[in-house]
Structure 1
Amino acid sequence: MGVKGLLWFVTNACPGVCTVVNLKEMAENHCSNFPGSIPVIVVDAMSCLRTWYTPESWVCGGQWREYLSNLEGFINTFTAAGIKLVFYFDGVVEQKKRDAWIKRRLQNNKEIARVFEFIKINKQQPGREMFFIPSGLSTFTRFALKTLGQETISSLQEADYEVASYGLQNQCMGILGEDTDYLIYDTVPYFSISKLCLHKMETVMFSRQNLCCRLGLRVVDLPLFACLLGTDIIPANIMEGFRNQCLASYYGKRWGNDRRTSTILAVANYISVIPRSYNSLVALAERLPMGSDKFVLCRGIESYLLPGQQSPWLPCDFVQSLAESVKQDVPLCPDQEIFQIAKDQHVRAESCSVYEVLSCGEIECSNTLEDENDTELPGQALVYRPVREHIYSVLLESAKDVHGKYPVVKEWFVYAGNSLNQPDLVHPKELPGGTPSLRTLWLSRGPEAEQRRHCTFLACFQVQDIEEELQALEAPVASVCVLLLYLMLQVDSLSLEDLNAFIAQTLCLEGKSAAQLADLQVAQVDSRAVQLGSLFIRGLSVLIKANSACGFPLRMVDLMPWHLFDGKLFQEKYQQTHRGCSLHELLEGNESWLAKFQNLMSLICKACSAKDRTIQSRRREICFMTERQERRGGSHFQNTSRNQSRAYHPQNRGGFRRRPQSPTHTSRAQPPGPGYRSGYHPHRGQRFQRAPRWHTDDASPEWN
């Protein structure tokens, strides 16, 4: 992201470029200069995620209530200073930056592997120096900001370009982010999110004018300067030979700088002594490696030109001719009204993945905290592919050809063994009983249309046969039930204990505040539970995709993780259930939760049984350090596992019934899950009233 080496240069070798400023004072000055206007800072949200996520625990799947509370505090501080925030997110990955995206994803795989290696050795979360944002953070941050009433925008092209354009066209006070590209764009001032001291409202402002003075360049030269150093469009290695030649010449004239500083100054010196003309750029292109695209520098410069801007390095008509030469993608969706609705929802950050599929049939998913060495648990990209196939059929029903075939969808999903050399070609799969059109799902009104949207949503997860039972549950709990039932049917290695942990953490999350969850202490971290937490969170994002495609049969707010999941709480429940804790202890002695637990367990197990899936009890080895072993460095752990096997039977709700052992089962015997304490009699047969929030009569997202 940004310009290669530029951040180091401006912070270490370029005095005057970085200036500490007070944003509240700048807002007051802005009001004086523009009477009647509200100071606006446009935020590059993607580059702020690492700074925003401040909860201590990050590896367990996300501390979502803490995160939401922190975001609210962040917004309130700016509001109190009289500053409005507008948040931008990357809505697409442009083809010209696909190679850079892939390179980052493969590097992230290596970082994640080191995280899991650390967890397995130390049974603890790594330090912040190994920090990796929780899976799904960018997706759920968009909805969190909308929940908090903020203007949130998903881009139709590269987000940094739209951020720079928005700031310039709306006379914004500045841009908040962490991307040196904002020093290259000729736009409003650029503020650092990583240097922000929130309680003082102070941060570092980067001055492109002072940068130009240090380099001996003009602002119009900065795009070429960036291209020669290396960007996401022009890899740094392409111009490495040229930079070395500049450096050799520069060393003959100047002394006293280190190599990094000298290289940057040498490139700037070269630009400053040649004519600012297209002919100079043509001559420079001849120095590219053999076989390189001779117009890559032109396109690199053009990518930094905001609407209405020109460059002396390009012909006057170059920008126009380049725009005309690009082939415009024809949307896969032939219904223009439907496509426009999808586009508008995308820009307003109300839906998820719909526009990308309808516009170009291409979609991507970044890295997930998954252990590539755990061959028992498949990657989330593969687990949720069947439901995505159904979602694609809903979106592309009207795009089938004369033979009734769907167009394929190109998926760039990160999972173990995928080199990302090319996309996976995924064929949409028609829903059982047929797939309704988007026009029917999105535009129809009334109870029948509402029921159709809901049925289609459940059919995507292949659980439409238990619609009546799901309607009897509260909306958030019903959505968790859909997800868990899908997971239990897709992943054979998931056990009764895993299911217990998922249900228990969802129920026990009820009523707990962000502060209470922050104070929750987990003695150690289990690597498998880390991956299961990420699997669950990715599942919530799939629920959002299906909800978006089906015309919003559910309220989006009922699918948000701050209502349904907490990473530390899940770690606690996972370890409790695999150590054999009773349900009374697992559910914290709460009778109401116990009744809901039984109801959900019965529903899920009965539905699984109907599909020939018996959920086996498989207690895992849970190792823990004694106080003495902790003092010795934690080199030894105690094992609390047993060697039994049981299965949960829906008809036996009072407890677990032992499954008879056979020779084929003996070698695979696993320890039991939590049972009921002797003499403890839970409530039976309790039904829940139909929750009106499960459906809405308006095929649009609701936030409150």
Structure 2
Amino acid sequence: MGVKGLQHFVDSCCPEARVTVHLREMAKRQRVCTSTANIPSPTLVVDGMACLRHWYTCKDWVCGGQWREYMELLKGWVEAFTSAGIRLVFFFDGVVEDQKRQVWVKRRRRVNGEISKMFRHIKACGVQPGRALFCLPSGLATFTCFALRSLGQSVFCSEQEADYEIASYARQHGCMGILGQDSDFIIYDSAPYLSVAKLRIDSLTTVLYDRQRLCHAIGLTATQLPLLACLLGNDVVSEEQMQHIRNNAIATYRTNNPASHRGAPQGQKVLAVSQLVSSLWGREEQEPEFIPHSVNLSAPHRELLKKGVCSYLLPGQDASQRGDISAPPSAFEKHVSPQILKACREKHVATEGFMVYSVVCQGVIHCSNTLEDEEDSELLPQALVYKPCRQRIYGLLLLHGHEGSSVDLPAIREWFVYGGNPLKEPDMVHPVPVHLPYHQPSLDLLWFGTSPEVPTLRLMSFLSIFDCQEFSDLHGDIEDALLAALCLVTYIVLQVQTLSQEDVDAYLSQAVCLRLKSPNDLQNIKLPVLSSRAVQLGSLYVRGLGNLLGANCASGSPLPGAALMPWHSFDGRLFHSKYLLAHSGTEKAVLLESDPSRLSLFIRLREKLGEACGKRGRVLQSRPCAPERGPGVPPGTGHRERHAGGAKDWRERGETGGGHGHGGGWRASGEASGDLSECEGRSTAWRVNPHSHSYPYGHDGGAQNTSRPPTQSRGRSHLNRGRYRAAPRASHFLLPARAQRGSVVLRGRKDFAMR
């Protein structure tokens, strides 16, 4: 969040504090200054979370991510710096601290409103909305960490507030600067703060925010900046808590400066509070955490203000103010060994693990917004789709020695964003044992074991989390990325009863065809129209890859991490094109691009999935859907009318037992209607390159050849307020009996991670 209004003030009212710099020249000067010291090449510490919107410039973002193109963009971005002799060190948020949770929740609600507008636009216009409604593809932060590591970069995941760790690292290692977009970096006494928003990658120029010039302009010393930040409002001290202090300061400032040339309200506020801070004591140095007694505050607010000021003190400035992070916090230390705790922390910091640190060491897990249509009653939110999977991951991590006992079982606090969840408190989710033909192996054996049977144990543990044990015979026979994709799609089919054979064909055909596609091939795919349902299915798949990562890490990594990356098994534009083709009745040979080897592999995967589902009583049905609005498709002939046989609205499936209820229903309150002014004209020829296959829809938008008449729309269902049980979906009673006993009641409905 940064300091309220400070970034805008420096950009708009304090030009003397903004200096255009050439990073190549900065690096040359840094080399000269450190030539005799034992310091590596000139280093920039990069706030990864602040860069995501600047990195992801691919044309399509609603379809689930153009991951191979994104990888090429990241590679070019990194090479621009390395060619200039600049070393990069990346930090990403690894936790959501309790003091920032309300800020996090507020942002998640705001983004949900934007996502709702985005889906309304797609359903009304059949095209992606403009940049005003841009949302990052689901899971982007998570997979960017792995992408940068694959490019040979140093990447760290924070254990505390990421801004603090970035500033600490930059100060400790004598870095040439911090590249980000957060005004907190002006306050920290660390390396120079460089703007990623003003960065020109071609010339490596940007804006440096000079804290000394800022101090001179507002009449403060550098040691007074933390108090200024807290009185303006930051992550620790909310803007509202210091409102009365600012009001008094602004009134005094206007009296003393009736004709100030910096008369804009934002400028007045910063200058007024600066004048107040300056008047509280003389210009002589004071202890940084000292709060003058003349500040009119209650005892609790004074302590909060001191805490906020101390949050800007870096190691070496006042080491007593920050806890020792050498030992990880241990939410469930009695359930795992010290060796596991140590490994969890190391994996987390190095971004090699996913989910395990949050679960084992903190007992809490977060997941940011997902591109999901809250008005679509046929598709479950991803948080509920993957809940049984997460429960088994938790069980693998924590249920050693319980042997099915319900006594003293730990519960994980889940902060997941989905429709109907007000995020006032976490969902309390209990682990479920992983069912294997033998006793559940210990985590120490899975992670550190070297005996010959351990690889098999790891693989079977991983597959059991997704109820796909019979796919073990495919390991080593097909590519690991395809095995992972097959497990994921099979799991989705078992959990989502409205998934059709056409959806499965789209998922599998794009996974098979992606293997031989270049980024350029993928960019050249033409999408004649967008389907909101396909958008949601794309995000559902990518979120599933995150759960595959968590399961793989918990199981001791039976599959190489690279096999679980989206650029090896998913491309949003390719999936969307396959979805449109599959639902238009395209022949399988054409769906597989007239390649016999691809068709053969596709059929094999399709048969394996069908066999696994058949054993569990899940029979896929053909239910072709037209997009809501295609070229010439009149309103009212969308997929809700064509998607016959859909399951009942998940929000009408009863009540939960235990936990808190999520009132308010599926749709978020206070959402504005989408701006449809950006609807664009579209060609009436439905074709997808490079095979120029015509989509079989007539000019009136109806299917030319359909095996069944359109069914009547269910319409929008009445939304239950309160609690609901997700268990009655067919996937619950189709699982083996042992898994049913382990299933629990699910409750209704954001980044990192998590994200």
Which TM class, normalised by the smaller chain length? 0.7 to 0.9
- Find the aligned partners of 2:279 and 2:681 in 1 and give their Cα distance: 65
| Residues 154 and 347, structure 1, Cα contact 8 Å, conserved in 2 | yes
| Residues 167 and 188, structure 1, Cα contact 8 Å, conserved in 2 | yes
Give the counterpart letter for 1:262 in structure 2. Q
Give the counterpart letter for 1:54 in structure 2. T
Aligned pair partner of 2:310 in 285, 295, 302:
302
TM-score (norm 2): 0.81
- Find the aligned partners of 1:61 and 1:546 in 2 and give their Cα distance: 21
Q: Which residue of 1 aligns with 2:397?
A: 395
Q: Report which stretch shifted further, 637-646 or 272-281.
A: 637-646
Structure 2 gaps of 5+ residues are 636-678, 685-698, 715-755
Cα 1:632–1:601 change in 2 (3 A) is closer
- Is 1:267 the counterpart of 2:273 in the alignment? yes
The Cα of 1:328 is off from its aligned counterpart by 9.1
Q: Which residue of 1 aligns with 2:197?
A: 194
Q: Which residue of 2 aligns with 1:332?
A: 332
| Residues 18 and 207, structure 1, Cα contact 8 Å, conserved in 2 | yes
- Is 1:38 the counterpart of 2:49 in the alignment? no
Give the counterpart letter for 1:488 in structure 2. V
The Cα of 1:633 is off from its aligned counterpart by 8.3
Q: Map 1:5-404; keep pairs closer than 5 Å.
A: 5-35=5-35, 37-254=40-257, 255-256=259-260, 257-275=263-281, 280-284=291-295, 286=297, 293-310=301-318, 320=320, 323=323, 329-334=329-334, 335-398=337-400, 404=407
Cα 1:98–1:168 change in 2 (3 A) is same
- Is 1:415 the counterpart of 2:418 in the alignment? yes
- Find the aligned partners of 2:58 and 2:700 in 1 and give their Cα distance: 28
Report the identity percentage: 42
Q: Map 1:351-500; keep pairs closer than 5 Å.
A: 351-398=353-400, 404-433=407-436, 434-500=439-505
- Find the aligned partners of 1:372 and 1:627 in 2 and give their Cα distance: 23
| Residues 274 and 280, structure 1, Cα contact 8 Å, conserved in 2 | no
Give the counterpart letter for 1:443 in structure 2. F
SS in 1 for 2:295: helix
SS in 1 for 2:478: coil
Q: Which residue of 2 aligns with 1:672?
A: none
Kindly provide the CA deviation profile for residues 611-660 of structure 1, in whole angstroms up to 9, marking residues without a partner as x.
Answer: 000001101123421599998789996232765369xxxxxxxxxxxxxx
- Find the aligned partners of 1:598 and 1:505 in 2 and give their Cα distance: 13
Give the counterpart letter for 2:702 in structure 1. N
| Residues 285 and 295, structure 1, Cα contact 8 Å, conserved in 2 | no
- Is 1:644 the counterpart of 2:741 in the alignment? no
The Cα of 1:464 is off from its aligned counterpart by 1.2
Relative contact order (alpha carbons < 8 A, sep ≥ 6): 1 or 2 greater?
2
The Cα of 1:374 is off from its aligned counterpart by 0.6
Q: Which residue of 1 aligns with 2:723?
A: none
The Cα of 1:538 is off from its aligned counterpart by 0.3
The Cα of 1:286 is off from its aligned counterpart by 1.6
Aligned pair partner of 2:578 in 573, 586, 602:
573
Kindly provide the CA deviation profile for residues 229-252 of structure 1, in whole angstroms up to 9, marking residues without a partner as x.
Answer: 111222211212221111111111
The Cα of 1:460 is off from its aligned counterpart by 0.8
TM-score (norm 1): 0.87
Kindly provide the CA deviation profile for residues 400-441 of structure 1, in whole angstroms up to 9, marking residues without a partner as x.
Answer: 599654200000011110101000000000111342211110
The Cα of 1:546 is off from its aligned counterpart by 0.4
- Is 1:561 the counterpart of 2:624 in the alignment? no
- Find the aligned partners of 1:523 and 1:666 in 2 and give their Cα distance: 25
- Find the aligned partners of 1:244 and 1:182 in 2 and give their Cα distance: 26
- Find the aligned partners of 1:321 and 1:167 in 2 and give their Cα distance: 19
The Cα of 1:369 is off from its aligned counterpart by 0.6
SS in 2 for 1:72: helix
| Residues 52 and 141, structure 2, Cα contact 8 Å, conserved in 1 | yes
| Residues 624 and 639, structure 1, Cα contact 8 Å, conserved in 2 | no
- Find the aligned partners of 2:534 and 2:147 in 1 and give their Cα distance: 25
- Is 1:594 the counterpart of 2:599 in the alignment? yes
SS in 2 for 1:410: strand
- Find the aligned partners of 2:76 and 2:525 in 1 and give their Cα distance: 21
The Cα of 1:281 is off from its aligned counterpart by 3.9
Aligned residues: 638
| Residues 480 and 564, structure 1, Cα contact 8 Å, conserved in 2 | yes
Structure 1 gaps of 5+ residues are 311-318, 647-664, 670-704
| Residues 412 and 423, structure 1, Cα contact 8 Å, conserved in 2 | yes
Cα 1:156–1:321 change in 2 (3 A) is closer
The Cα of 1:282 is off from its aligned counterpart by 4.5
Cα 1:590–1:322 change in 2 (3 A) is closer
Give the counterpart letter for 1:495 in structure 2. S
CA-atom RMSD, angstroms? Answer: 2.6
Cα 1:282–1:486 change in 2 (3 A) is farther
Cα 1:631–1:460 change in 2 (3 A) is closer
- Find the aligned partners of 2:619 and 2:481 in 1 and give their Cα distance: 25
- Find the aligned partners of 2:279 and 2:32 in 1 and give their Cα distance: 41
Cα 1:279–1:477 change in 2 (3 A) is closer
- Find the aligned partners of 2:180 and 2:565 in 1 and give their Cα distance: 25
Give the counterpart letter for 1:378 in structure 2. L
- Find the aligned partners of 1:644 and 1:529 in 2 and give their Cα distance: 22
SS in 1 for 2:453: helix
Cα 1:560–1:285 change in 2 (3 A) is farther
The Cα of 1:330 is off from its aligned counterpart by 3.6
